[in-house]
């Protein structure tokens, strides 16, 4: 009997100590979380807007861009697997540009995520690769921090660039590429072309009736 | 006591080159000086606080459950660091990503708590955390420097993104037309770089 009490005393003590530590540290975490979370949300929204501002310029809109979007269901053109947001830039309540997120599933190593800013007439205002895993030093020239290659798409549209021209020069297309990393460029060109196709088919939904 | 902590942490027991603990982040993140420095500082901070907060409570921690409790304390600290970096240094958070929460699983933190802080008074434990962290930080910076220099031909690039615009002049570009040495940036470069660093340390030790 004495042994039983002795054993249980140890168990009780360890349990008690663990509970005390758990309570103390979860309280600390709770406190830090409530302090940090609003700042995190704010800085994330700022980072997001900075990202969006890379593909359109600040002076063409005056609305709250982050909260002005349409939901885009998964589709074959943008290749999104979940619903994503298409941001709509408005100047005095008139749509001036849209920002679409498109994916190239056929990059050299995995998916490439690209933001495309398109004006109401279907011209590309800017494009940025926002996520990729292409080989460093080889395929990563699509990233604006490595080279300004991605800017060759600016002012392209379905009108001024014919269907067959939407390809890299190696495939008799219009767009330059870095030899040795053709697959990467091919995937990006394709994805951007598809985003324009998506825009053309869905521009009514985005409030553009030109 | 202070001298011992300095020599142990920076050289004789250096976590990066001698103890070889916590190699995963050491190898993964050191593609540039700024990445190495950032993760080094975050780890050092966690080590200092973990050591100096566990040492005063070591007598209240039952031996049977000391490891879960140490992990609990370390995990809480790392979460605080993670949240603070996310809130106040968004670019740094982007650069380090998953490796901040992974500091919890970094053996070096638990190893110092278990083998030092749980047996020693607070002040020596603080020194131990500080200099062990500093030692690791140095290794990360040197390894990052080696890989960045060979891989991109630059040093200190990206400091302005993380530590503020005022540092944008610090970046050094060594070559005008440098296509980069891919191997140094990819994971094998980390293994080779660390091996060279360890060899150097051993060579110096042998000479003395």
Residue of A nearest to B72 (CA): A22
Q: Output the pTM of the full model.
A: 0.74
Between A17, A26, A33, which is nearest B60 by CB?
A17
Is the Cβ pair B182, A135 closer than 8 Å?
A: yes
Between A25, A44, A136, which is nearest B76 by CB?
A25
pLDDT band at residue A210 using 50, 70 and 90 as cut-offs: low
Each residue's pLDDT tens digit, B60-116? 888 888 888 899 989 999 999 899 888 888 878 877 878 888 888 888 889 889 989
pLDDT of residue A208: 75
Is the Cβ pair B80, A47 closer than 8 Å?
A: no
CA distance A146 to chain B (A): 11
Pairs of residues, one from chain A and one from chain B, whose beta carbons lie less than 8 Å apart: 64
Is the Cβ pair A10, B69 closer than 8 Å?
A: no
Structure tokens at B87: 């809130």
DSSP 8-state symbol, B114: I
Domain segments of chain A: what residues? 1-53, 55-202
A136 vs A17, residue with greater confidence: A17
Residue of B nearest to A21 (CA): B69
Mean pLDDT of B196-208: 90
Of the candidates B11, B3, B10, B13, the residue with the CA atom closest to the CA atom of residue B116: B13
pLDDT of residue B132: 92
Distances (CA, A) of B18 to A49, A177, A200, B8: 45, 46, 61, 10
Each residue's pLDDT tens digit, A154-189? 999 998 888 888 999 888 888 988 888 889 999 999
Map residue B178 onto helix, strand or coil.
coil
CA distance B164 to chain A (A): 15
DSSP-derived secondary structure for chain A: -HHHHHHHHHHHHHHHHHHHHHHHHHHHHHHHHHHHHHHHHHHHHHHHHHHHHTTS-GGG--S-GGG-EEEE---TTT--SS-EEEEEEEETTEEEEEEEEEEEEEETTEEEEEEEEEETTS-EEEEEEEE--PPTTTGGGGSTTT-SGGGGGTT--TTTS-GGGSSBGGGT-SB---TT-HHHHHHHHHHHHHHHHHHHHHTTTTT---
Each residue's pLDDT tens digit, A119-145? 988 899 999 998 888 887 788 889 887
Structure tokens at B12: 């004789």
pLDDT of residue A209: 67
Contact between A189 and A166 (Cβ < 8 Å): yes
Query: What is the pLDDT of chain A when averaged over all its residues?
Result: 87
- Cβ-proximal residues to A74 (8 Å cutoff; 6+ apart), any chain: A80, A81, A82, A83
Question: Can you name the residues that pair with A84 across neighbouring β-strands?
Answer: A72
Of the candidates A98, A159, A108, the residue with the CA atom closest to the CA atom of residue A132: A108
Each residue's pLDDT tens digit, A188-204? 999 999 999 999 888 88
Please state, in angstroms and rounded to a whole number, the distance separating the CA atoms of residues B38 and B29.
10
Residue of B nearest to A10 (CA): B62
Place of tokens 């933001």: A115
Residue A117 phi/psi, 5-degree rounding, is: -100, 125
pLDDT of residue B156: 83
Percentage of chain A beyond pLDDT 70 is 99
In chain B, residues with a C-beta closer than 8 Å to the C-beta of A14 are 62, 64-65
DSSP 8-state symbol, B191: H
pLDDT band at residue B129 using 50, 70 and 90 as cut-offs: very high
Residue B91 phi/psi, 5-degree rounding, is: -65, -40
In chain B, residues with a C-beta closer than 8 Å to the C-beta of A21 are 69, 72-73
CA A94 to chain centre: 24
pLDDT of residue A1: 63
Contact between A125 and A154 (Cβ < 8 Å): yes
Is the Cβ pair B73, A21 closer than 8 Å?
A: yes
Please state, in angstroms and rounded to a whole number, the distance separating the CA atoms of residues A54 and A119.
14
Mean pLDDT of A52-74: 86
Mean pLDDT of A23-40: 92
Element housing B154 (H / E): strand B154-155
CA distance B89 to chain A (A): 9
Optimal mutation site among B56, B77, B83, interface A, most CBs of chain A within 10 A: B83
Question: Can you name the residues that pair with A4 across neighbouring β-strands?
Answer: none
Burial class (CB in 10 A: 0-12, 13-18, 19+), B87: buried
* Number of folded domains that form chain B: 1
Distances (CA, A) of B79 to A19, A30, B66, B85: 19, 11, 20, 10
Contact between A89 and A98 (Cβ < 8 Å): yes
Q: Going by DSSP bridges, is the β-strand pair A94-107/A84-91 parallel, antiparallel, or unpaired?
A: antiparallel
DSSP 8-state symbol, B65: G
Place of tokens 């067959």: A164
Between A18, A135, A137, which is nearest B65 by CB?
A18
Please state, in angstroms and rounded to a whole number, the distance separating the CA atoms of residues B91 and A50.
12
In chain B, residues with a C-beta closer than 8 Å to the C-beta of A40 are 83, 86-87
Burial class (CB in 10 A: 0-12, 13-18, 19+), A208: buried
In chain B, residues with a C-beta closer than 8 Å to the C-beta of A18 are 65, 68-69, 72
Is the Cβ pair B69, A21 closer than 8 Å?
A: yes
Question: Can you name the residues that pair with B167 across neighbouring β-strands?
Answer: none
Between B64, B94, B179, which is nearest A14 by CB?
B64
Angle B79-B81-B83 from CA coordinates, rounded to 5°: 65
pLDDT band at residue B171 using 50, 70 and 90 as cut-offs: confident
pLDDT of residue B94: 78
Q: Which domain holds residue B152?
A: 2-207
Distances (CA, A) of A162 to A13, A78, A167: 77, 20, 10
Map residue B106 onto helix, strand or coil.
coil
Is the Cβ pair A28, B68 closer than 8 Å?
A: no
Residue of B nearest to A131 (CA): B94
Is the Cβ pair B60, A138 closer than 8 Å?
A: no
Position B159 pLDDT exceeds 90 = no
In chain B, residues with a C-beta closer than 8 Å to the C-beta of A137 are 151, 179-180, 182, 185
């Amino acid at each position: 009997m004495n042994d039983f009490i002795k054993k249980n005393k140890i168990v009780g003590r360890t349990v008690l100590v663990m509970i005390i530590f758990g309570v103390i540290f979860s309280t600390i975490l709770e406190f830090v979380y409530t302090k940090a979370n609003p700042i995190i949300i704010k800085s994330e929204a700022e980072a997001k807007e900075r990202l969006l501002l890379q593909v359109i310029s600040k002076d063409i809109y005056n609305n709250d861009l982050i909260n002005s979007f349409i939901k885009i269901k998964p589709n074959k053109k943008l290749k999104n697997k979940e619903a994503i947001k298409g941001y709509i830039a408005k100047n005095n309540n008139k749509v001036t540009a849209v920002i679409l997120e498109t994916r190239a599933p056929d990059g050299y190593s995995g998916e490439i995520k690209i933001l495309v800013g398109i004006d109401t007439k279907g011209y590309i205002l800017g494009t940025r690769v926002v996520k990729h895993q292409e080989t460093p030093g080889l395929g990563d020239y699509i990233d604006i921090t490595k080279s300004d290659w991605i800017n060759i798409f600016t002012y392209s549209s379905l009108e001024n660039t014919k269907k067959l021209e939407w390809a890299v020069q190696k495939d008799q297309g219009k767009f330059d590429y870095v030899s040795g990393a053709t697959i990467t460029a091919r995937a990006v060109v394709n994805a951007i072309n598809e985003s324009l196709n998506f825009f053309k088919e869905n521009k009514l939904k985005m409030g553009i009736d030109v | 006591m202070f001298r011992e902590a300095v020599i142990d942490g920076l050289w004789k027991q250096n976590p990066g080159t001698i103890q070889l603990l916590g190699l995963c982040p050491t190898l993964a993140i050191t593609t540039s000086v700024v990445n190495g420095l950032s993760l080094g500082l975050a780890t050092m901070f966690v080590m200092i606080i973990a050591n100096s907060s566990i040492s005063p409570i070591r007598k209240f921690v039952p031996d049977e459950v000391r490891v879960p409790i140490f992990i609990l304390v370390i995990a809480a600290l790392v979460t605080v660091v993670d949240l603070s970096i996310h809130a106040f240094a968004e670019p740094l958070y982007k650069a380090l990503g998953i490796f901040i929460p992974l500091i919890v699983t970094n053996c070096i933190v638990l190893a110092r708590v278990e083998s030092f802080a749980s047996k020693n008074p607070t002040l020596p434990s603080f020194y131990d955390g500080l200099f062990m962290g500093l030692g690791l930080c140095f290794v990360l910076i040197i390894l990052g420097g080696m890989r960045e220099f060979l891989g991109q031909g630059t040093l200190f690039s990206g400091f302005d993104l993380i530590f503020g615009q005022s540092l944008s002049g610090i970046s050094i570009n060594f070559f005008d037309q440098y296509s980069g040495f891919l191997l140094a940036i990819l994971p094998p470069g980390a293994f080779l770089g660390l091996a060279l660093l360890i060899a150097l340390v051993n060579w110096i030790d042998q000479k003395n």
